[in-house]
């Protein structure tokens, strides 16, 4: 699905192109931090630290990867 006009896509691309590398990195880290807060706020209460990390990994990197990093039998 694509609901963004070509004009707006160009506007955004030009805006990002004017940013310094440091500004682009800052924006990316801020967006990741915001996404992490949203994911963490949606987790069920009472998870252990390991379970919480597993759920977060599954949300960002997929369940298959999370299952490999945090196997159920560990």
Residue 36 lies in a domain: no
Domains in the chain, number:
2
| d(C-alpha 54, C-alpha 8), whole Å | 37
Whether residue 51 is found in the same domain as residue 26: no
Residue 3's pLDDT is 87
14 HSE (CA, 13 A, CB side): 6
Residue 19 lies in a domain: yes
Residue 37 lies in a domain: no
User: Whose CA is closest to 44, among 52, 32, 33?
Assistant: 52
Residue 38 lies in a domain: no
Q: How confident is the model over 3-61, as pLDDT tens digits?
A: 899 999 999 999 999 999 999 999 999 999 999 999 999 999 999 999 999 999 999 99
Residue 49's pLDDT is 95
| d(C-alpha 1, C-alpha 34), whole Å | 24
In this prediction, residue 74 has a pLDDT band, given cuts at 50, 70 and 90, of: low
Using an 8 Å Cβ cutoff, are 45 and 66 in contact? no
Can you give the residue range of the structural domain that contains 47?
A: 43-74
Whether residue 52 is found in the same domain as residue 25: no
């Amino acid at each position: 699905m694509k609901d963004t006009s070509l004009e707006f896509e160009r506007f955004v691309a030009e805006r990002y192109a004017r940013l310094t590398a440091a500004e682009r990195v800052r924006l990316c880290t801020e967006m990741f931090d915001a996404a992490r807060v949203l994911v963490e706020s949606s987790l069920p209460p009472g998870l252990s630290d390991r379970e919480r990390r597993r759920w977060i990994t599954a949300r960002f990197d997929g369940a298959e990867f999370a299952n490999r990093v945090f196997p159920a039998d560990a």
